[in-house]
Amino acid sequence: MIQSTRFSSLLFLLVLPLLSFAQSNEDDQVLFQLDSEPYGIKAFNYYFLKNAEEPSADSAKIKVNEYLDLYVNFRLKVKEAIAQGQDQTPEFKEEFEGYKKQLAEPYLMQTKVNEQMVAEAYQRLTQEVSASHILIKSDEQANPEDTLKAYNKALDIKNKILAGADFETLASQVSDDPSAKQNGGSLGYFSALQMVYPFENAVYQNQIGDIVGPVKTRFGYHIIKINDKRKARGQVLVAHIMIRAKPDSLSMATAKSKAASIYDNLKKGASWDEQCKLYSDDVRTKPAGGKLQWFGTGQLVPTFEDAAFALKETGDISEPVQTRFGYHIIKLIDQKGIASFEEMQSELETKISRDSRAKDKKSVAITKLKESQYFEINPIVFNQLANYFDSTLLTAQWNNEQSQTNGSKVLFTTNNTDYTLQLFFDYVEEKQKKRKLTALDTYVNQLYNQFVEKSIFDEELELIEAHNYDYQMVLDEYRSGILLFNLMETEVWNKAMVDSIGLQEFYDKNKKKNYKLAEHVVVRRFVSKDSSVLQSVSTQLDKTNSELDSLFNSQEPLTLQTFEEKIEQGKNKWLDDHWAIGSSVQSGKNYFTLWHVVSIQPDGYKPLTEIKGLVISDYQHELEKQWLKALSKKYPMKLNKSVLKSYIEGFED
């Protein structure tokens, strides 16, 4: 219910302008030239301000010049890709056309319906709904008989509930949602943009206690019970200490006891960061004191969310909370309500463009574009359309045998174009797919609607490409990004991966500078509040850390913490002062630490086999540096200093 391409891996590079065309406007001043090809200040300004905050008068010169270096380097790479003809390969053209259509949609969809959907989504975000559902699966491509069967089954369930049957019991018995057996169909609280659009509509358009449905979504038919509605809780920022354990296991009891002891320590004044660093099993967050990202309702497990939102004052700490991951102690850092419409508008527009409601928006957009393009269908030709097709279309083997006599007939017109049967036949031959469960006339109608949509959008797209500057910039960003990815893959990334001889030579040349390994110790570290515990541990070092953990923590879970580490000289003052094989005990404010140095390893160089990933990355940077140097010679840069100076001075006004 709740809601990559290779190009996505390149997005980190898009913090600099991905511009492939140069001087596109007669009044655009030339900022620089690469081998006589001009690049204007207008595009540079667009991307500079897009990727960074407007600089102050004091910082403008530094920031603009730093960005210019990145920009020029990028332009050099893209220029080389074009010089190699990479923009003419079939692979590039196919990939770029796919992105082009995706990028066009937000511009093609700029209609009133978009504004209405954004306003609707924001209004719904101010309220949270609790609902339960019973799902009867039905495939979107199912034949009418099976669809009707699923609908009638859902309707029968609804009637039983209205007659007095228990919703939760029925959900656990008949719902096709696997989780219903455990939760009786409950979905908890959620808000807008967290469910598919038809489901969202049903819960927001009905009242508490209503039994709604059958509601059709891409998953099937739903019978929905509206349990509650409340004001949105906003978002919360918390930290947590997690003791990991699996549900219904013996370890859960141990985790509960350990969490209770940590909570008791915190209530007695122990440092949160100290307890988190010592005991939390969330290795990703413990270095930062257990801090999580901002979240709202429906983003984490409900029990964790409820405990977090129950905290009222900054610094408040929850009692241990059980989830399916184990036990958590939660500390409130900050909280905030729903942002203003103006602050969320751009984000909502992006989310809606990817949401299932975009289909409705697209339908309205097509209707409006038809009006603006004076779309007119030829009813006589349209009514005869099915006569040109036979059962071979359903097996994707249809071919156009009628084109010589009928291809010139006009199927529909716009203000710019006559769309003939021949154009439609060509489209069908290319796009036809096997359709075992679809009636012939239904499939012909689907292909016709797809052809109309494509034709209408293609016409509008030509106008956008010619006149919409923002779209030109975004489109070129992706075009250049694909070219850059392909070229970097060939010239830098893959070369460093496969050139084992070059990699070895690079390592040998740079190991004294970059890959030195200082003298270091292999240590076992033990932490406890009780020095006598560490005294006992020191007599049993023949046991493994795991064995010691089980031995000392069987009665009191926080008695002993164990670690195994490698630490370089100069990284820990205590070890520096006790740099010898053997044991030493360090006294802290609240804890004692037993350090047992197992071995001392001499200085030298980190072996290539152990740091190959790091060396490959460094080698890639070196290859790129050398390559850019060669490109700078191949395409000399001539900077228009007066234009650059005027641009920088503009930030000082």
pLDDT (tens digit per residue) in 438-463 = 788 888 988 999 999 888 888 887 77
Sign of the torsion angle spanned by Cα atoms 494, 495, 500, 502: negative
410 has which bridge partners? 420
- Please state, rounded to an integer, the average pLDDT across all residues of the chain: 86
Write the pLDDT tens digit of every residue in 577-596. 999 999 999 998 889 999 99
CA distance 67 to 645: 14
Mean of pLDDT values over 252-265 = 90
| Among the ranges given (38-42, 116-120, 245-249, 347-351), the one the predictor scored with the smallest mean pLDDT | 245-249
Write the pLDDT tens digit of every residue in 369-398. 888 888 999 999 999 898 889 889 999 999
Task: Yes or no: say if 308 and 238 are a contact pair by the CB < 8 Å rule.
Answer: yes
**What is the reported pLDDT for 141?**
66
Q: Which two tokens stand for residue 427?
A: 């489209």
Please determine, for residue 404, whether its predicted confidence score (pLDDT) is greater than 80: no
**What is the reported pLDDT for 112?**
47
**What is the reported pLDDT for 8?**
33
Mean of pLDDT values over 214-226 = 93
H runs (alpha helix) in 84-196: 90-108, 112-125, 144-162, 167-174, 180-183
Residue 533's CB is within 10 A of a number of other CB atoms, namely 18
Helix (H, G, I), strand (E, B) or coil at 437: coil
**What is the reported pLDDT for 43?**
84
Task: Yes or no: say if 34 and 79 are a contact pair by the CB < 8 Å rule.
Answer: yes
Q: Which two tokens stand for residue 165?
A: 């049957």
Residue 388's CB is within 10 A of a number of other CB atoms, namely 19
| pLDDT category of residue 13 using cuts at 50, 70 and 90 | very low
Q: Percentages helix, strand, coil for the chain, rounded to the nearest 5?
A: 50, 20, 30
CA distance 501 to 510: 14
What Å distances lie between residue 651 and 43, 49, 60, 647, 648, CA to CA? 17, 12, 7, 7, 6
Please determine, for residue 11, whether its predicted confidence score (pLDDT) is greater than 60: no
Where along the chain do the CATH 3.10.50.40 domains lie? 127-231, 235-336
Write the pLDDT tens digit of every residue in 150-195. 899 999 999 999 999 999 999 999 999 999 998 899 999 999 988 9
Helix (H, G, I), strand (E, B) or coil at 460: helix
Helix H or strand E segment including 81: helix 60-83
CA distance 316 to 338: 22
* Cα radius of gyration rounded to whole Å, the chain: 33
What Å distances lie between residue 137 and 180, 221, 223, CA to CA? 14, 6, 12
| pLDDT category of residue 35 using cuts at 50, 70 and 90 | very high
Q: Which of 155-161's residues contact partners 24+ apart within 8 Å by CB, and which partners?
A: 155/214, 157/223, 158/211, 158/213, 158/214, 158/223, 161/211, 161/223, 161/225
Sign of the torsion angle spanned by Cα atoms 296, 300, 301, 305: negative
Write the pLDDT tens digit of every residue in 60-115. 899 999 999 988 998 999 999 999 998 899 888 888 887 776 776 666 655 545 67
Q: Identity (one letter) of the amino acid at 212?
A: V
**What is the reported pLDDT for 160?**
94
What Å distances lie between residue 648 and 34, 335, 596, 644, CA to CA? 21, 40, 60, 6
For domain 516-605, is the CATH number 3.10.50? yes
For domain 127-231, is the CATH number 3.10.50.40? yes
Please determine, for residue 23, whether its predicted confidence score (pLDDT) is greater than 60: no
pTM higher than 0.85, yes or no? Answer: no
Residue 121, judged by CB atoms within 10 A of its CB (0-12, 13-18, 19+), counts as buried
**What is the reported pLDDT for 24?**
41
CA distance 172 to 182: 7
Task: Yes or no: say if 134 and 98 are a contact pair by the CB < 8 Å rule.
Answer: no
Which of 594, 589, 464 lies closest to 524 in space, CA to CA? 594
CA distance 449 to 427: 12
CA angle 7, 10, 12 (to 5 degrees): 140
In the chain, % of residues over pLDDT 70: 90
Residue 244, judged by CB atoms within 10 A of its CB (0-12, 13-18, 19+), counts as middle
Exposure b/e, 199-230, CB count within 10 A at least 16 = b: bbbbbbebeeeebbbbbbbebbbbbbbbbebe
| Among the ranges given (18-22, 286-290, 568-572), the one the predictor scored with the smallest mean pLDDT | 18-22
| pLDDT category of residue 293 using cuts at 50, 70 and 90 | very high
Write the pLDDT tens digit of every residue in 604-647. 888 888 889 899 999 999 999 999 999 999 999 999 999 999 99
Q: Which residue has the tokens 């059958």?
A: 214
Helices first, then strands: H and E counts in the chain = 25, 19
Phi, psi for residue 608 in degrees, rounded to 5: -55, -35
Write the pLDDT tens digit of every residue in 476-487. 788 888 888 888
Task: Yes or no: say if 494 and 487 are a contact pair by the CB < 8 Å rule.
Answer: no
Assigned architecture for domain 235-336:
Roll (3.10)
